[in-house]
Structure 1
């Protein structure tokens, strides 16, 4: 059995003049090595091969499709668009791997990947046919097919097989997690809306409780005995606005006209608008 030396530190008793203390000490021990995991070595090797194949395939496809498109568009735009052909099916393959625990969702990514691969292979074959003939086009298109096929085999080998019940269980787990995640922005929006409503309500209450610029809006039950109403039987602006509101008037201008008609004088538009806002807030609450 193969071993490897390793050094570790431990506390050991050490006595001087009859007084013992625990002091650090080092020792070297031999630890047995586990046997090589040839399966993991093999899958790592294949993964490296797939990565190289994807890079080579993408470079070849981009060059081929870019040369084809550069005949009708500027080269930077042509080669930028050419890179999308392989990036599309590579992205779908990555999503397929991420969704391996939910087969229904992985199936959509798998189908999209094969569609994007077919488009990319068709574009490479068209360029090869124009540049060198049918054989050149078919061989060039086969490069993308081989890279995609190798990757699909590796992904299928790496993905753990799941029963239908297992898949349904994981779907429910992901659904619950998604609901919890979705609650965060929804709760934030609800709290923001409630804060705006509360701020508007407090502002209106503070506004209505401040000194009224219109003397006709003051209450007849004033606590100051030295203050006497000039015309106790007259309708105040606030009362007139309330009557107009109860009659179905919702427009500030129409309410102001009604107040002027009832009280016999033109009210302040800002005062009428404030009373109308307060009534709307009370109705909404």
Structure 2
């Protein structure tokens, strides 16, 4: 057996002064030379020769049929259809090489196309040189097709009956999977189109909400729902409101602004506690509390200060009523 020398790079470790470092070593190795595959060499040579002869056949048949048609450049384009057709059928034969039923159909089509080409070349040869020219010219395409048919028969694998059945079943299962994938892809496309169509036909405004059923009636005036029989609420304890002596008469409320009252939902507990502390400071300093005095120290809007001051006055009045 013959050997050949080949240079390879092997990773390793090199140590200098006790410190290792990764390196790549270059080494020469001997490896056996595999024997030449003469079968593969012969197949490449035969295939190359057949392709070369086919190209010559295509050139000859194209020129002959174009001369028969006599239409100039357009005639040459039309003449290429004859050879291109049976070469296409030749490619189909390779694709269905493992399916005997389909291969027979493609083979019949290929031979039919070759017969049409041979007939056209024979007619052109009969017109130009007689029977000998017609037969010789027609045999060119017939030889090229015959070589491809023989090459396919020589390289086609031979399978037993059981192997053929197993292969057919396997190919059928794979074909079923491919069909399912293709159908699933089509369904996904259709669903996407339906989604786009639904999005395009949806109204631009807000989608009306569905009626959730009977709801609680709105007792406010103009609520749009009959509030039913009104239930008189329990009377709230009366609170006397005492206006401060130094409080000036407030300016008339502008039109459109709602009146403010010292009700719990309008009073912030933290603000109210701060206002109580400021009122106590003012009284300790001998200053009569008022809306303006409280606003200066809290630095908030006058309307909010008025609400807080009214709430404090209401608390003081209630306290005085309880202690009286």
TM-score normalised by structure 2 residue count: 0.60
What displacement does 1:207 show? 7.3
1:39-54, aligned counterparts within 5 Å? 39-54=39-54
Which stretch shows the higher mean deviation, 57-66 or 160-169? 160-169
CA distance in 1, matches of 2:188, 2:219: 46
What displacement does 1:223 show? 9.9
Partner of 1:30, secondary structure, is: strand
Residue in 2 that maps onto 1:195:
196
Residue in 2 that maps onto 1:123:
120
Which has more radius of gyration? 2
Change (3 A) 1:20 1:30: same
What displacement does 1:193 show? 1.8
Residue in 1 that maps onto 2:281:
none
1:135-214, aligned counterparts within 5 Å? 135-162=132-159, 163-200=164-201, 202-203=202-203, 206=205, 209=208
- How many residue pairs were aligned? 214
Given that 1:121 and 1:142 are in contact with CA atoms closer than 8 Å, whether structure 2 keeps it comes out as yes
Residue in 2 that maps onto 1:30:
30
Change (3 A) 1:208 1:178: closer
What value does the CA root-mean-square deviation take over the aligned residues?
2.5
What displacement does 1:125 show? 0.7
Partner of 1:187, secondary structure, is: helix
Q: Deviations over 1:157-210 (max 9, x none)?
A: 22323413312321331232133124213320232124313542x327x3785x
What displacement does 1:13 show? 3.4
Change (3 A) 1:208 1:140: same
What displacement does 1:83 show? 0.5
Residue in 2 that maps onto 1:56:
56
What displacement does 1:16 show? 1.6
Partner of 1:101, secondary structure, is: coil
Which residues of structure 2 form unaligned runs of 5+? 209-216, 225-324
Q: Deviations over 1:258-278 (max 9, x none)?
A: xxxxxxxxxxxxxxxxxxxxx
CA distance in 1, matches of 2:116, 2:222: 92
Given that 1:101 and 1:170 are in contact with CA atoms closer than 8 Å, whether structure 2 keeps it comes out as no
2:83 is aligned with 1:86: yes
CA distance in 1, matches of 2:136, 2:218: 98
What displacement does 1:102 show? 2.1
Change (3 A) 1:225 1:80: farther
CA distance in 1, matches of 2:220, 2:134: 100
